Structure 1
Amino acid sequence: MNVSALLAANGRKYPDKPALVAGDVEVTYSQWDTRSTQWAFYLRELGIEQGDRVVMLMPNCPEFAIFYVAVIRTGALVVPINARSTQEEVRHICEHAGAKALLVHDALVPIVNEWVLQTPQLVAIKTGTSQGNWQGIADWDATDVSSDEMNAFSLQPYLVNMNEDSEVSILYTSGTTGRPKGVLYTHRSLLTVAKMMSIELTMSHRSRILHLMPLSNSAPLHLFFIAGLMLGATQVMALTFSPQLLLDLVQQHRITHFFGAPVAYLLTMKHPEFASYDLSSIEYWMYGGAPLSKEMAALMEETYGRDKLACVYGLTEAGPTGMCLLHREHPDKIGSIGNRGVLFVEMEVVDERGERCASGEVGEIRLRGEGTMKGYYNNPEATAESIRDGWVYTGDIARVDEDGFLWMIDRKKDVMITGGVNVYPKEIEQLLERHPLIGEVAVVGLPHVEWGETVTAYVVLKSGVDNNRDWLEEIQSFLRGHLADYKLPRQVHIVPALPRNTSGKVLKHVLRDVSSQKEVELR
Structure 2
Amino acid sequence: MNVSALLAANGRKYADKPALVTEEVAVTFSEWNEIASRWAYRLRQLGVEPGDRVVLMLPNCPEFAFFYIAVIRCHALVVPINARSTKEEVRYICQHAQAKALIVHEALVHAVHEWIEEEPGLIAIKTGNSQGAWQGTAAWDAEEDVRLEEFGINPDAPDVTEDSEVSILYTSGTTGRPKGVLYTHRSLLTVAKMMAIELSIQHRSRILQLMPLSHSAPLHLFFISGLMVGATQVMALTFSPKLLLSLVQKQRITHFFGAPVAYLLTMKHPEFAKYDLSSVEYWMYGGAPLSREMAVQLEQAYGRDKLACVYGLTEAGPTGTCLLHREHPDKVGSVGNRGVLFAEVEVVDENGLPVPPGTPGEVRVRGEGSMKGYYNNPEATRETLRDGWIYTGDIGRFDEDGFLWIVDRKKDVMITGGVNVYPKEIEQLLERHPAIAEVAVVGVPHPEWGETVTAYLVLCPDVDAKRDWLAEVRGFLSGHLADYKLPRQVAVIPQLPRNTSGKVLKHVLRESPSAKEVELT
TM-score (norm 2): 0.82
Tell me the amino acid that sits aligned with residue 193 of structure 1. V
Is 1:193–1:321's contact at 8 Å kept on the other side of the alignment? yes
The correspondence for 1:260, drawn from 247, 258, 268, is: 258
Distance 1:321 1:346 in 2: 9
Alignment of 1:99-114 (within 5 A): 99-114=99-114
Alignment of 1:241-390 (within 5 A): 241-390=239-388
Aligned to 1:434: none
Aligned to 1:58: 58
Distance 2:48 2:382 in 1: 31
Is 1:312–1:322's contact at 8 Å kept on the other side of the alignment? yes
Alignment of 1:212-223 (within 5 A): 212-223=210-221
Tell me the amino acid that sits aligned with residue 348 of structure 2. V
Q: What's the CA shift for 1:494?
A: 4.3
Alignment of 1:343-492 (within 5 A): 343-414=341-412, 449=431, 484=500, 486=502
When residues 192 and 453 of structure 1 are mapped into structure 2, their CA distance, relative to the original with a 3 A threshold, is farther
Is 1:176–1:413's contact at 8 Å kept on the other side of the alignment? no
SS of 1:72's partner is helix
Aligned to 2:514: 495
Distance 1:98 1:489 in 2: 26
Tell me the amino acid that sits aligned with residue 514 of structure 2. V
SS of 1:64's partner is helix
Aligned to 1:33: 33
Distance 2:174 2:297 in 1: 33
When residues 264 and 11 of structure 1 are mapped into structure 2, their CA distance, relative to the original with a 3 A threshold, is same
Is 2:37–2:155's contact at 8 Å kept on the other side of the alignment? no
Is 1:22–1:236's contact at 8 Å kept on the other side of the alignment? yes
- CA RMSD, 1 decimal: 3.0
Aligned to 2:132: 132
Q: What's the CA shift for 1:140?
A: 1.2
State yes or no: 1:76 paired with 2:95: no
SS of 2:412's partner is coil
When residues 292 and 269 of structure 1 are mapped into structure 2, their CA distance, relative to the original with a 3 A threshold, is same
When residues 156 and 247 of structure 1 are mapped into structure 2, their CA distance, relative to the original with a 3 A threshold, is closer
Distance 2:180 2:378 in 1: 11
Q: What's the CA shift for 1:353?
A: 1.6
Q: What's the CA shift for 1:208?
A: 0.1
Distance 1:452 1:291 in 2: 16
SS of 2:354's partner is coil
Q: What's the CA shift for 1:128?
A: 1.1
Aligned to 1:88: 88
Is 2:412–2:442's contact at 8 Å kept on the other side of the alignment? no
Distance 2:504 2:28 in 1: 40
When residues 152 and 377 of structure 1 are mapped into structure 2, their CA distance, relative to the original with a 3 A threshold, is same
Tell me the amino acid that sits aligned with residue 143 of structure 1. E
Q: What's the CA shift for 1:159?
A: 3.4
Distance 1:488 1:334 in 2: 24
1:444-485 CA deviation, whole Å, 9 max, x = no partner?
Answer: x9558599965679999xxxxxxx9x9968x99xx99xx659
Tell me the amino acid that sits aligned with residue 222 of structure 1. H
Distance 2:97 2:160 in 1: 21
Distance 1:406 1:458 in 2: 25
SS of 1:138's partner is coil
Distance 1:60 1:76 in 2: 21
Q: What's the CA shift for 1:487?
A: 6.6
Distance 1:446 1:116 in 2: 42
Deviation larger for 44-53 or 159-168: 159-168
When residues 173 and 330 of structure 1 are mapped into structure 2, their CA distance, relative to the original with a 3 A threshold, is same
Deviation larger for 29-38 or 347-356: 347-356
Is 2:148–2:154's contact at 8 Å kept on the other side of the alignment? no
Tell me the amino acid that sits aligned with residue 53 of structure 1. R
Aligned to 2:119: 119
TM-score (norm 1): 0.82
Is 1:472–1:489's contact at 8 Å kept on the other side of the alignment? no
1:334-393 CA deviation, whole Å, 9 max, x = no partner?
Answer: 000111000000111011121111111110101101000000001111111111111111
Tell me the amino acid that sits aligned with residue 179 of structure 1. R
Is 2:317–2:369's contact at 8 Å kept on the other side of the alignment? yes
Is 2:283–2:306's contact at 8 Å kept on the other side of the alignment? yes
When residues 201 and 137 of structure 1 are mapped into structure 2, their CA distance, relative to the original with a 3 A threshold, is same
Distance 2:176 2:38 in 1: 38
Is 1:292–1:452's contact at 8 Å kept on the other side of the alignment? no
Is 1:104–1:126's contact at 8 Å kept on the other side of the alignment? yes
Q: How many residues align?
A: 458
Q: What's the CA shift for 1:142?
A: 2.3
Distance 1:307 1:485 in 2: 28
When residues 452 and 11 of structure 1 are mapped into structure 2, their CA distance, relative to the original with a 3 A threshold, is farther
Alignment of 1:42-57 (within 5 A): 42-57=42-57
When residues 79 and 449 of structure 1 are mapped into structure 2, their CA distance, relative to the original with a 3 A threshold, is farther
Q: What's the CA shift for 1:139?
A: 1.7
Is 1:222–1:320's contact at 8 Å kept on the other side of the alignment? yes
Distance 1:35 1:320 in 2: 29
Distance 1:16 1:380 in 2: 45
Aligned to 1:199: 197
Distance 1:14 1:325 in 2: 32
Is 2:128–2:136's contact at 8 Å kept on the other side of the alignment? yes
Tell me the amino acid that sits aligned with residue 98 of structure 2. G
Q: Name stretches of at least 5 consecutive residues in structure 1 with no aligned partner.
A: 416-444, 461-467, 500-509, 511-523
Q: What's the CA shift for 1:177?
A: 5.3
Q: What's the CA shift for 1:113?
A: 0.2
SS of 2:223's partner is helix
When residues 271 and 119 of structure 1 are mapped into structure 2, their CA distance, relative to the original with a 3 A threshold, is same
Tell me the amino acid that sits aligned with residue 55 of structure 2. V
1:86-110 CA deviation, whole Å, 9 max, x = no partner?
Answer: 0000000000000000000000000
Aligned to 2:233: 235
When residues 457 and 69 of structure 1 are mapped into structure 2, their CA distance, relative to the original with a 3 A threshold, is same
Q: What's the CA shift for 1:50?
A: 0.6
Is 2:182–2:371's contact at 8 Å kept on the other side of the alignment? yes
Tell me the amino acid that sits aligned with residue 162 of structure 1. V
Distance 2:95 2:437 in 1: 32
When residues 336 and 97 of structure 1 are mapped into structure 2, their CA distance, relative to the original with a 3 A threshold, is same
Tell me the amino acid that sits aligned with residue 244 of structure 1. K
Q: What's the CA shift for 1:131?
A: 1.2
When residues 496 and 23 of structure 1 are mapped into structure 2, their CA distance, relative to the original with a 3 A threshold, is closer
When residues 51 and 455 of structure 1 are mapped into structure 2, their CA distance, relative to the original with a 3 A threshold, is farther
SS of 1:285's partner is strand
Q: What's the CA shift for 1:406?
A: 0.9
When residues 172 and 454 of structure 1 are mapped into structure 2, their CA distance, relative to the original with a 3 A threshold, is farther
Q: What's the CA shift for 1:273?
A: 1.3
Tell me the amino acid that sits aligned with residue 97 of structure 1. A
Distance 2:153 2:253 in 1: 37
1:202-225 CA deviation, whole Å, 9 max, x = no partner?
Answer: 110000000000000000000000
Deviation larger for 232-241 or 485-494: 485-494
Is 2:245–2:272's contact at 8 Å kept on the other side of the alignment? yes
Q: What's the CA shift for 1:150?
A: 2.8
Tell me the amino acid that sits aligned with residue 335 of structure 1. G
